[in-house]
Amino acid sequence: MNTEALHRQHSRPGVVVTAVVLGWPIMSSPVVAQTSDAPSSVRAQTLVRMVRQDCGSCHGMLLTGGLGPAITAQALRDVPLESVAATIYHGRPGTPMPPWKAMINEAEARWMAERLLAGFPTESAR
């Protein structure tokens, strides 16, 4: 199933909507597989800052919720990694959640999703 199909599947009303509408669902396992497409150290720091600042402007600076729902590992524990990455990359049509595909590629969206599922690092993390 491609990411667009997963995105449509997980945007249906009634499918963990309260936790997912503006957030990113994750797998129930605390262990998240790492991709081989990891960004460089410098790019990773940029992506961490993006999540902390840009995503944090709606989801709270600690990602514990604000205008948008919490996007912590605990809050996202029951939704697949692919859905998290699709939400980051494609956004959620009909909601304030914008697509970030103009600023990141799909591998970076997946990397960000993996970090969210594992517990997002601080800005100083590499």
pLDDT averaged over every residue in the chain: 77
Question: What CA–CA distance (Å, rounded) separates 76 from 67?
Answer: 16
pLDDT in tens, 84-100: 999 999 999 999 999 99
- Cβ–Cβ < 8 Å for 17, 98: no
What residue ranges do the domains of the chain occupy? 3-28+37-118
Phi and psi angles of residue 4, each rounded to the nearest 5 degrees, phi first? -65, -40
Q: Amino acid letter at 105?
A: N
- Cβ–Cβ < 8 Å for 118, 73: yes
Q: Which two tokens stand for residue 56?
A: 């944090």
For the segment(s) 3-28+37-118, the CATH number from 3.40.50.10140, 1.10.760.10, 1.10.3720.10, 3.30.9.10 is 1.10.760.10
pTM of full prediction above 0.85: no
pLDDT in tens, 39-97: 999 999 999 999 999 999 999 999 999 999 999 999 999 989 999 999 999 999 999 99
